[in-house]
Amino acid sequence: MDRLTLRRPDDWHLHLRDGALLAAVAPVSARHFARAIVMPNLVPPVVSGAEAAAYRERIRAALPGRRFTPLMTLYLTETTDPDDVIAAHASGLVTAVKLYPAGATTNSASGVRDLDRVRGVLEAMAEAGVPLCVHGEVTDPSVDIFDREAVFIDRVLDPLRRAVPGLRVVMEHITTAEAAGYVTTAGANLAATITVHHLVINRTHMLAGGIRPHYYCLPVAKRETHRRALVAAATGGDARFFLGTDSAPHTDAAKESACGCAGCFTAPVALSILAHVFEAADALDRLEGFASLHGPAFYGLPRNDETLTLAKSPAPLPHPGSLATGAGPVTVFDPGFPLHWHVAEDT
Ligand code: NCD
Ligand code: ZN
């Protein structure tokens, strides 16, 4: 097969940033994706309905004439007002709420330290059907960074789901066999997003033969057995797994530093890599489910009517290298193997 037409995909976890970066990266995602769940970890974070409305306007202003729907999220803090969340969701402004354990990742200092302090918000969300997107890593400094996701499931996620059983939860950017297994054994109110980069790199790719800062993201890539478990989950057809690229641009100056930022900028090549992965797993027929169908089903949103056609060319595509932005160049994620699939047309 060298052509594949699918319903236009959505990105269920995306960082669009603000200012000069927003202006440069928003059109890249809008080129291929119909909608995206937009992460709220700006500085300062998007915590109120009013801030989400203002951010949505800035995103729309960066995309004149483009048919792209930003699905806004609110950054959960210990002082989040449940009434504001419920009103912002009821009006259609906000699609989900994001839980960052304080200090877990880029711009997460205002995140949650004590889950008991947000119990009221979570109960109101469960009642109103507002999904919670979770960055699933503990921040306990005594827990090894490679174990932080698996420990989070036992210490935080499973107790939280038992405490608020009606809450719909998306475990974001899962990186371990433990997370994939936990989602598989849970009920229909738990789903997980999987990134493109975690389907193609493991920690050895990042660290052997020189440190590759553009492979550094959070949660950090794990060993090869976990990557394989993620490929099995993504390509297996289970509707609880869907695409969230977690495309997270940082300038090269911020990445290539003595203390480099976490985040891989994958948006320009996400669908090319995804087609490669699904073809290698003999699962191209399941790509549409993962990229275009499972996400809207979980979020209770309509499927996109438009389509997108991927084509495979005999010669490898030139890698885009980096994206010029007003804040400086941003290196595009390079999977380290040639890409033959590309977006040929969309309607
Ligand atoms: C994200 C970012 O840069 O905002 N970084 C990352 O490595 N994924 C934050 C996040 O999603 O954890
Ligand atoms: Zn992210």
Distance CA 328, CA 347 (A): 32
> At residue 346, does pLDDT exceed 80?
no
Residues with CB under 5 A from ligand 2 (ion): 246
CA 172 to ligand 1 centroid distance, Å: 11
71-98 mean pLDDT: 98
pLDDT band at 347 (very low <50, low <70, confident <90, very high): low
Is the model more confident about 83 or about 346? 83
> At residue 1, does pLDDT exceed 80?
no
Distances (CA, A) of 304 to 6, 165, 196: 10, 30, 21
Number of neighbouring beta carbons within 10 Å of residue 145: 12
Cβ–ligand 1 distance for 193 under 6 Å, the answer: no
Token digits of residue 333: 């994620």
For this structure, is 144 an active site residue?
no
- Residue 104 CA: which ligand 1 atom is closest? 12
Distance CA 61, CA 307 (A): 25
Measured by CA distance, the residue closest to atom 4 of ligand 1 is 106
Token digits of residue 169: 């939860």
Cβ–ligand 1 distance for 21 under 6 Å, the answer: no
CA 1 to ligand 1 centroid distance, Å: 35
Output the pLDDT for position 11: 99
Measured by CA distance, the residue closest to atom 6 of ligand 1 is 263
Output the pLDDT for position 323: 98
Task: Name the CATH superfamily housing domain 3-346.
Answer: Metal-dependent hydrolases (3.20.20.140)
Output the pLDDT for position 103: 85
Mean pLDDT of the chain: 97
Marked catalytic residue, from 10, 11, 246, 334: 246
Output the pLDDT for position 104: 81
Output the pLDDT for position 115: 92
Cβ–ligand 1 distance for 248 under 6 Å, the answer: yes
**DSSP β-ladder status, 341-346 and 190-194:** unpaired
**DSSP β-ladder status, 341-346 and 322-323:** unpaired
Distance CA 286, CA 297 (A): 15
Determine the residue of 73, 107, 246, 247 to mutate for testing ligand 1's pocket, defined as the one with the most ligand atoms within 8 A of the Cβ atom: 246
Output the pLDDT for position 108: 86
Measured by CA distance, the residue closest to atom 9 of ligand 1 is 106
CA 19 to ligand 1 centroid distance, Å: 18
pLDDT band at 345 (very low <50, low <70, confident <90, very high): confident
Looking at the chain, the whole-number percentage of residues with pLDDT higher than 70 is 99
310-337 mean pLDDT: 97
Mark 212-228 as b/e (b = at least 16 C-beta within 10 Å). Answer: ebbbbbbbbbbeeebbe
Cβ–ligand 1 distance for 135 under 6 Å, the answer: yes
Token digits of residue 59: 């995103």
193-203 mean pLDDT: 99
CA 14 to ligand 2 centroid distance, Å: 6
> At residue 325, does pLDDT exceed 80?
yes
> At residue 177, does pLDDT exceed 70?
yes
pLDDT (tens digit, 9 = 90+) per residue, 31-63?
Answer: 999 999 999 999 999 999 999 999 999 999 999
116-135 mean pLDDT: 97
CA 5 to ligand 2 centroid distance, Å: 28
